[in-house]
Amino acid sequence: MAEGLTLEIATPARLVVSDVVEEVVAPGIGGYFGVLPGHAPFLTTLGVGELTYRKGREEYHLAVAGGFAEVRNDKVIVLVDSAERPEEIDRARAERARERAEQRLSGRTEGEVDYARAMAALSRALTRLQVAGRTQ
């Protein structure tokens, strides 16, 4: 079994992480999954949620939304639409997004409500707030 996993996390705009880590936990479309060295290869779609990786005793957290993860040969490649570290998240903006999504879902806004879109916005806002509360 290998000593670690090579982890690469990229968005369309930047390479967010490129490091050797011991463990990765990510939000798959069907639920969270974990990867340790020696894991069987697979490809999956990612949802909105908190991606966590461990390097030594340190844990690192990212708010991610939409994309794919591939595991092969002790390497995890994550391609996501967005990925933010706790210090990159504007808490006030995330809180406003949460409030807007909750208002849409409660029917307190004018016009038609696209519930799937409002739920996705709420999920992203809640994830960003959760990750923003983490300390590195």
**pTM score, two decimals?**
0.87
Q: Which residue has the tokens 């916005």?
A: 121
Question: Residue 128 belongs to what H/E stretch?
Answer: helix 115-132
Q: How far is CA 23 from CA 16, 29, 70, in A?
A: 17, 19, 14
Other residues' Cβ atoms within 10 Å of the Cβ of residue 134: 17
The per-residue pLDDT for range 45-100, each reduced to its tens digit, is 999 999 999 999 999 999 999 899 999 999 999 999 999 999 999 999 999 999 98
Q: What is the DSSP letter of 87?
A: G
Distance CA 84, CA 6 (A): 19
CATH classification code of 87-132: 1.20.5
Q: Write the pLDDT tens digit of every residue in 87-103.
A: 999 999 999 999 988 98
pLDDT in tens, 3-37: 899 999 999 999 999 999 999 999 999 999 999 99
Q: The domain 5-86 is classified under which CATH number: 3.40.50.1370, 2.40.40.20, 2.60.15.10, 1.10.10.1100?
A: 2.60.15.10
| Domain residue spans of the chain | 5-86, 87-132
Q: Distance between CA atoms of 90 and 92, rounded to whole angstroms?
A: 6
Q: How many residues does the chain have?
A: 136
